[in-house]
Chain A
């Protein structure tokens, strides 16, 4: 079992650009959640996908959007990047809309310059 895999591991973008991060959940998991972790902070919930729909959303602007595919993998898109979007983006997979333990990927380190 490969666990939760995220790609890329690191990337650098310029302000105003758009970025897409990818996540493959743990085998058998149907729920994917995305978190943003700024330096020195705990992870903050962005949104959760279940059955290819966004089920919950945290306090993030519409510049943050996502998608879940039929194979349960997911993408996080961020438009019009700001310097403040620099962070570690973590994907978590779970069963049953998160009412069980979540498994996290290693994250994607996004740097906006």
Chain B
């Protein structure tokens, strides 16, 4: 079945430490790939996107993500987290078939230790 999987429901890291959030998808063709961030009670903000080309994508707020076709993964990384990065992170895809709707993972809640 087509799906987006974020295996970590919660992740806790210390401020200043590096971060990697995992995302795997299962679609026949490479979909469009996104990472969104959501602060409590807020809407979704786009961090970065991958449509084609360079597999290492730079986004806002110092985030980057790497697309690995062989692993069907699109992991989000940040070299040094800040307390303000505490939020919910959603990996999302737009399957490149007739459906253009966004399919979201269940999210990873990031907690930052001072």
Write the residues of chain A forming the contact surface with B, with a CB cutoff of 8 angstroms: 4, 33, 35, 41-45, 48, 56, 58, 88, 90, 92, 97-99, 101-107, 109
Since A45-B101, A102-B46 are in contact, a sample of 14 more A-B pairs with Cβ atoms closer than 8 Å, ordered by chain A residue number, is: A4-B43, A42-B92, A43-B104, A48-B100, A56-B100, A58-B101, A92-B44, A97-B100, A98-B102, A99-B32, A102-B102, A104-B36, A104-B43, A106-B43
Contact indicator B44/A43 (Cβ below 8 Å): yes
**CB-defined interface of B37-56 with A at 8 Å, one 1/0 digit per residue?**
00001111110010000000
- Return A8 CB to nearest CB of chain B, in Å: 14
Contact indicator B44/A90 (Cβ below 8 Å): yes
Q: How far is the CA of A13 from the CA of B44 in the complex (A)?
A: 24
Contact indicator A98/B94 (Cβ below 8 Å): yes
* Total chain B interface residues with beta-carbon distance under 8 A: 22
**CB-defined interface of B92-113 with A at 8 Å, one 1/0 digit per residue?**
1010000111111111000000
Q: How far is the CA of A101 from the CA of B6 in the complex (A)?
A: 20
Q: How far is the CA of A33 from the CA of B34 in the complex (A)?
A: 16
Q: How far is the CA of A101 from the CA of B34 in the complex (A)?
A: 8
Give the residue name and chain of the B residue nearest to A55 (CB).
Answer: B100
B67 at the interface (CB under 8 A from A): no
Q: Which one, B44, B46, B49, B100, contacts A98 given CB within 8 A?
A: B100
